[in-house]
């Protein structure tokens, strides 16, 4: 880590001056913990990696996979092998040439059991990666793959940056990350910002000279800073700032559709959440429109896909807001009404809703929901957890009753981890043999029509079985200064098309 001893002077020189032509400053809630795609666990890290590293394939503006570090590829008849021809005009930020060794190294490092990569799932479907020659790689898969190029978006790391295939977070690579992307990391600044410069030896150099990631943990301040022209870009605009920014002549809003949806999940291993009548009652009690209105606009959903997804089943009806029907279900579930209050035996019926405190607007939603349910006669306790406690209680211990949360998916929208019996992110404990079969089929099939049909059927079953009440997708907006032009935003990675962005 290069740290300047003249901290103050450096900071003054680079950051307090107004942006000269070509510097894009964007804000993140939290600075990346580590710049190494193998260990990425947060969206700020993912977005930063998009600037510095590249993968074999990338998305074009229609969100289809196109070759990036690869030049062309052939897939075998039985679709279990792929021969990839790599570009020969690529070099790393330190000048070394990019070769097949780097590709094979990356895949083996991610698969290496001692690396403990959280991104292991991205390569676990590759059985073996072989170097054929300097610019050719052969991949062998466990199963036939319909579209392997959709899964080859992960970033490639330089083999010469590491010793051996066991990669550790403590490796010195973290101090000087090297990629092949349009920007190279110049400096970790002492104020937690990261300075990047465009790399002129890239085969397709970007237009913007410099990009700086700034950590602005106070969400209240992010929009203010954009208005004050201390930043050029906000990745996600808080709903309450939308009105202000819309009226601002110097700021442009860019809507984008992320594949992310909010949900209210039940812990199916706890009483009374294992009782479907109780869950139905809750589904009929929640007034989703009223919950959504204060925090923004979006689509109300009935299943685990966004409305524009090919897998969304439009025939599945929404749960109606029907207190009388809910009351009937509650009685069926064995609860009795005493005055205004639902009783669980002798005790008032009490439920607990847990949410991640960093989830924007979750406070408003949970408080509102609490109020709704309370007026319907159910006591609600509320808990907002910080990241560490969330990981411990929800991810590991499954110690919760209801959770309000959000899932974000990339283009593949693979929900297996969330809904398959053995899924690593199946917090609700959902287990349905039909859904398992459908999800497995969808993963294995090479026929897009069959995939659509099975996933739509899965949508229907999941809706009926009600492991969670699906809420909505929120319309997301990015905000950029009007000085930035030719802006196209990738809904997940954000900076995929940054090479085209310009600035006056």
Partner 1 sequence: MNAGARFGAAVLAMVLAGWALASISSYDVIADVDPSRASLGPSLDHWLGTDHLGRDVAWRLLKASQAFMGPGLLACTVSSLPGVAAGALAGFFGGPIAYALRYLATVIATLPRFVLVLLAITIYGDNMWILGAAAGLAYAPTLAEAVYNRIDSLKRDEFVLAARAHGLGSWRILWYHLLWINCRYLVGRHALYLFSYTLLLETTLSYIGGFGVKEPTPSWGNMLAFEFGQRDGNPWGAWAPALAIWLTILACNLLANSLVEKRRA
Partner 2 sequence: MPTEPQNDTTALAHGIDSPMSPVVATPFSGPPELPPSSLPLRSILGLFLAMGKPLVSFTLTLLGALLLVQLLLWAAPGDPVDLVPNGESMRSALEQEWGLDKSPARRYWSFVTRALRGDLGYSLTFRPGAQVLSLMTPAALRSLQVLLPALVLVMPMGLGLAWFTAGHTRLSRRPIQALSVTPVFLMAFMVVHLANETTFTLMEAGRISRPDWFALPDTDSWLKLLLSILILAVGSGSLAEVHAACENEIRRVRNSTFLDAAKARGASVWPHLLPNLVGPLSAVASSRVVFLMGGLIIVEKVMHLNGVGAMLWQACLMRDYPVALGITVLAAATVAGTRLLADILRVAVDPRLREIP
# chain residues binding partner 1, by CB under 8 A: 22
Select the residue interacting with partner 2 from 120, 131, 186, 225 (CB under 8 A): 225
b/e string for 187-208 if b means 16 or more Cβ within 10 A?
Answer: bbbeeebbbbbbbeebeeebeb
Q: Which of 169, 188, 172, 158 is nearest to 2 (CA)?
A: 188
Are the C-beta atoms of 195 and 14 separated by less than 8 Å?
yes
Gap between the Cα atoms of 80 and 274, Å rounded: 41
Q: What is the sign of the dihedral through the CA atoms of 88, 93, 95 and 98? A: negative
Shortest gap between Cβ of 375 and partner 1 (angstroms)? 7
CA distance 268 to 278: 11
Please name every residue paired with 393 in a beta bridge, in sequence order, or none if there are none.
Answer: none
Residue 80 near which of partner 2, partner 1, none (CB within 5-8 Å, type-dependent): none
Task: Check if the beta carbon of residue 30 is closer than 8 Å to that of residue 215.
Answer: yes
> Rule CB under 8 A: is residue 386 a binding residue for partner 2?
yes
Q: Is 374 in the site for partner 1 (CB under 8 A)?
A: yes
Rule CB under 8 A: which of 271-290 touch partner 1? 290
Q: In this chain, which of 61, 88, 220, 408 binds partner 1, going by CB under 8 A?
A: 220
- Is residue 232 within 8 Å of residue 26, measured between CB atoms? yes
Query: Is 407 strand, coil or helix?
Result: strand
Asked if 229 is part of the footprint of partner 2 (rule: CB under 8 A), the reply reads yes
| CA-wise closest residue to 208 among 459, 444, 484, 493 | 484
Among 97, 128, 168, 411, binds partner 2 (CB under 8 A): 168
The reply on whether position 247 binds partner 2 by CB under 8 A is: no
Among 19, 23, 28, 39, binds partner 2 (CB under 8 A): 39
**How buried is 280 (Cβ within 10 angstroms: 0-12 exposed, 13-18 middle, 19+ buried)?**
buried
Residue 1 makes contact with partner 2 by CB under 8 A: yes
The site string for partner 2 over 97-136 (x = CB under 8 A, - otherwise) reads: -------------------x--------------------
Looking at 357, 424, 486, 502, which residue binds partner 1 (CB under 8 A)? 357
Rounded (10°) CA dihedral 326, 328, 334, 340: 70
20 binds, among partner 1, partner 2, none (CB under 5 to 8 A by kind): none
Q: Which residues bind partner 1 (CB under 8 A)?
A: 220, 224, 240, 244, 290, 293-294, 357, 363-364, 366-368, 370-371, 374-375, 380, 382-384, 386
Q: Which residues bind partner 2 (CB under 8 A)?
A: 1, 3, 5, 7-8, 11-12, 15-18, 33-34, 39, 116, 168-171, 174, 190-192, 214, 216, 218, 221, 224-225, 227-230, 386-388, 391-392, 396
């Amino acid at each position: 880590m290069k740290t300047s001893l003249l901290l103050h002077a450096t900071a003054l020189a680079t950051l307090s001056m107004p942006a000269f032509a070509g510097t894009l400053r964007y804000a993140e809630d939290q600075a990346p913990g580590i710049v190494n795609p193998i260990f990425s666990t947060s969206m700020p890290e993912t977005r930063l990696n998009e600037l510095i590293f590249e993968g074999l394939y990338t998305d074009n503006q229609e969100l289809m996979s196109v070759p990036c570090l690869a030049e062309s590829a052939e897939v075998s008849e039985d679709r279990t092998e792929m021969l990839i021809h790599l570009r020969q005009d690529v070099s790393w930020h330190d000048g070394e040439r990019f070769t097949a060794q780097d590709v094979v190294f990356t895949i083996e490092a991610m698969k290496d059991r001692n690396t403990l990569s959280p991104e292991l799932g991205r390569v676990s479907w590759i059985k073996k990666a072989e170097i054929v020659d300097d610019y050719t790689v052969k991949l062998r898969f466990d199963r036939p793959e319909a579209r392997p190029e959709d899964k080859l978006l992960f970033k490639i790391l330089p083999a010469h940056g590491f010793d051996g295939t066991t990669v550790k977070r403590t490796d010195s690579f973290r101090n000087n990350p090297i990629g092949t992307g349009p920007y190279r990391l110049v400096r970790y600044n002492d104020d937690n910002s990261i300075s990047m410069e465009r790399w002129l030896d890239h085969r397709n150099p970007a237009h913007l000279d410099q990009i700086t990631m700034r950590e602005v943990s106070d969400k209240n301040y992010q929009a203010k800073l954009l208005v004050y022209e201390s930043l050029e870009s906000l990745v996600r605009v808080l709903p309450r700032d939308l009105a202000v920014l819309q009226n601002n002549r110097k700021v442009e809003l860019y809507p984008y559709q992320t594949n992310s949806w909010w949900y209210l999940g039940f812990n199916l291993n706890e009483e009374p959440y294992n009782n479907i009548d109780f869950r139905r009652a809750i589904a009929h009690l929640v007034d989703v429109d009223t919950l959504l209105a204060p925090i923004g606009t979006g689509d109300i959903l009935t299943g685990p896909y966004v409305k524009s997804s090919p897998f969304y089943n439009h025939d599945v009806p929404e749960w109606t807001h029907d207190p009388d029907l809910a009351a009937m279900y509650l009685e069926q579930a064995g609860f009795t009404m005493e005055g205004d209050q639902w009783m669980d035996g002798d005790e008032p019926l009490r439920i607990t809703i847990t949410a991640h405190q960093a989830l924007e607007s979750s406070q408003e939603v949970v408080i509102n929901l609490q109020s709704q349910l309370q007026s319907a006669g159910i006591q609600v306790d509320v808990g907002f957890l910080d990241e560490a406690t969330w990981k411990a209680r929800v991810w590991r211990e499954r110690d919760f009753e209801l959770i309000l949360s959000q899932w974000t998916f990339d283009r593949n929208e693979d929900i297996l981890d969330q809904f398959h019996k053995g899924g690593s992110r199946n917090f609700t404990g959902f287990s349905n043999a039909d859904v398992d079969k459908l999800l497995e089929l969808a993963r294995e099939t090479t026929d897009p029509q069959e995939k659509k049909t099975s996933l739509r059927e899965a949508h229907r079953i999941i809706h009926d079985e009600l492991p969670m009440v699906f809420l909505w997708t929120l319309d997301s907006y990015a905000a950029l200064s009007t000085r930035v032009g030719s802006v196209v935003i990738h809904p997940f990675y954000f900076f995929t098309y940054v090479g085209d962005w310009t600035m006056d």
